[in-house]
């Protein structure tokens, strides 16, 4: 049973560029959330997708956008990259059926030069 | 004020010790409380979760929630070198938007 998978594992970009990160949820999960984890910090909630729509959003600018596909996989897009966007980006999935906590992937480490 | 406060450590203990990890939170409406373990270069791994106040035990791990004082604890008995990791507490209203502490780095020395 595959868990949450994310790609790529590591990415290097320069300021001003755009990036797309991908996530496949755990089998049986239909809800995907994205988090940003800066070095030495806990994950910060970016947004959550359910039924292909953004359901909740944290305190992130609209440079951060996302998408969920009919197969429940998801993408995180970040435009106009800043040095401060360097972080580990984590995807978490959960099931809308019943109250269960989220399961995380191993993340994509994004480095901005 | 951050929603969840956690002592970053690092915490260094000898093998076999009892470890106590703690967090405080600000919003009394939080209902779900989670502990995640994160190894270096890995994503957070769910250890335990509880609903409302009380204790929950799973093997060497015990999670404790005191809603009256807004205090969350994780106890690890007979700690092992393999327990060395960063431990993250998290809380939420309804499992939709987790609020994480900054994590406590634990080192268990053989």
Residues A3-21 have pLDDT tens digits of 999 999 999 999 999 999 9
Q: Could A55 and B46 be called an inter-chain contact, meaning their C-beta atoms sit closer than 8 Å?
A: no
Write the pLDDT tens digit of every residue in B50-84.
888 889 999 999 999 999 999 999 999 999 999 99
pLDDT given for residue A14 in this prediction: 97
SS3 B67: coil
Please indicate whether residue A56 or residue B87 has the higher confidence score (pLDDT).
B87
Give the up-direction half-sphere exposure of residue A27: CA atoms within 13 A in the CB hemisphere: 2
Give the DSSP per-residue string, chain A. Answer: ----EEE-SEEEE-TT--EEEEEEPPTT--EEEEEEE-TTS--EEEEEEETTEEEEE-S--TTEEEEE-TTS-EEEEE-S--GGG-EEEEEEEE-SSS----EE---EEEEE-
Is pLDDT above 70 for B108? yes
- Chain B contacts of A58, Cβ < 8 Å? 97
Phi and psi at B82, nearest 5°, equal -70, -10
Q: What is the mean pLDDT of chain A?
A: 95
pLDDT given for residue B93 in this prediction: 82
Write the pLDDT tens digit of every residue in B8-23.
889 999 999 999 999 9
Is pLDDT above 90 for A58? yes
Of all helices (H) and strands (E), which one includes residue A20? Answer: strand A19-24
Q: Whose CA is closest to A84, among A50, A108, A112? A: A112
Query: B19-25 and B45-51 as β-strands: parallel, antiparallel, unpaired?
Result: unpaired
Write the pLDDT tens digit of every residue in A19-33.
999 999 999 999 999
Write the pLDDT tens digit of every residue in A89-108.
999 999 988 777 899 999 99
Q: What is the mean pLDDT of chain B?
A: 93
Q: Give the distance from residue B94's alpha carbon to the nearest chain A alpha carbon, in angstroms.
A: 7
| pLDDT cut 90: percent of chain A above it | 89
pLDDT given for residue A1 in this prediction: 61
Q: Could B100 and A104 be called an inter-chain contact, meaning their C-beta atoms sit closer than 8 Å?
A: no
Q: Whose CA is closest to B108, among B87, B86, B80? A: B80
């Amino acid at each position: 049973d595959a868990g949450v998978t994310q790609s790529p594992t590591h990415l290097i970009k320069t300021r001003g560029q755009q990036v797309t990160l991908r996530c496949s949820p755990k089998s049986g999960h239909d809800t995907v959330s994205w988090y940003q984890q800066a070095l030495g910090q806990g994950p910060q909630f970016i947004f959550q997708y359910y039924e292909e729509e953004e359901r909740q959003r944290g305190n992130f600018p609209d440079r951060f956008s996302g998408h969920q596909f009919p197969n429940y996989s998801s993408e995180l897009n970040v435009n106009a990259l800043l040095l401060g966007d360097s972080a580990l980006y984590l995807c978490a999935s959960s099931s809308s059926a019943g109250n269960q906590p989220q399961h995380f992937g191993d993340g994509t480490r994004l480095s901005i030069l | 004020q951050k929603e969840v406060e956690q002592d970053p450590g690092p915490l260094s203990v000898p093998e076999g010790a009892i470890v106590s990890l703690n967090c405080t939170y600000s919003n009394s409406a939080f209902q779900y409380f989670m502990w995640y373990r994160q190894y270096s270069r890995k994503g957070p791994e769910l250890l335990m979760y509880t609903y409302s106040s009380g204790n929950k035990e799973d093997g060497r791990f015990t999670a404790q929630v005191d809603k009256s004082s807004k205090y969350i604890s994780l106890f690890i008995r007979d700690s092992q070198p393999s327990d060395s990791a960063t431990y993250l507490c998290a809380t939420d209203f309804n499992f939709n938007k987790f609020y994480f502490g900054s994590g406590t780095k634990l080192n268990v020395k053989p």
